[in-house]
Amino acid sequence: MKVLLINGSARKNGNTFLALSEIAKQLEKNGIDSEIVQIGSNPIRGCIACLQCRKNGNNQCAFNDDLCNRVNEKMSACDALIVGSPVYYGQPNGSVLALTQRMFYSGGTLYKGKPAAAVAICRRGGATAALQTMNMPFQLMNMPIVPSQYWNIVYGRDPGEATMDTEGMQTMRTLADNMAWLLKNIHGENVPVPEREALLPMNFIR
């Protein structure tokens, strides 16, 4: 079993990467493989509703000059998806939206029925709105949305600050445990609900 994680930040090793890396490490402890794909800083096209992907029927977008088709190819060998993004103006990175809209539409059969989760990284506010935006396509694609102990949010602005959000990073680990539990049960392993860590609450009044 394998989970594909999309790092929706232009910063390769920023706070979004740290949050997804925490998930990946916890998935590994549960015996689940993972791969992090970084969105990078190159332009990603938005969907132009040309419908060529539907006419071709090959799970490929007509535009083949960015990340979309590579993600679809990777997803054909993966069992679940996690999309992480920094929060810009209460929304996910625009490149994340352009990517996910095209990959779900062109490669729909590769995603249907596979568990999914979104992760938002922000300085202070807007994360719940960004999460809602990222979760909505999962519902349309019949993808079970995997929860955690809290909304999937990690706080941090400057590089490395995400690691200081103890509750946020614990939320990432709990998300990974829940993802592993669901995947194993989908594959017939009949495993019990995972044991939970003692809560590490993190408040921001200093």
Q: What gap in Å lies between CA 203 and CA 206, rounded to an integer?
A: 8
Q: What is the pLDDT of residue 204?
A: 79
- Domains, the chain, ordered by start: 2-186 (3.40.50.360)
Nearest residue to 80 (alpha-carbon basis) of 180, 185, 197: 180
Q: What gap in Å lies between CA 3 and CA 12, rounded to an integer?
A: 19
Looking up tokens 């590994």 gives 28
What value does the mean pLDDT of the chain take? 96
- Asked if residue 118 lies in contact with residue 41, where contact means CB atoms within 8 angstroms, the answer is no
- Asked if residue 32 lies in contact with residue 180, where contact means CB atoms within 8 angstroms, the answer is yes
The dihedral sign for the CA sequence 79, 27, 151, 74: negative
Q: List, for residues 41-83, the tens digit of each pLDDT value.
A: 889 999 999 999 999 889 999 999 999 999 999 999 999 999 9
Per-residue pLDDT at 206 exceeds 70: no
Q: What is the pLDDT of residue 164?
A: 95
Q: List, for residues 2-16, the tens digit of each pLDDT value.
A: 999 999 999 999 999
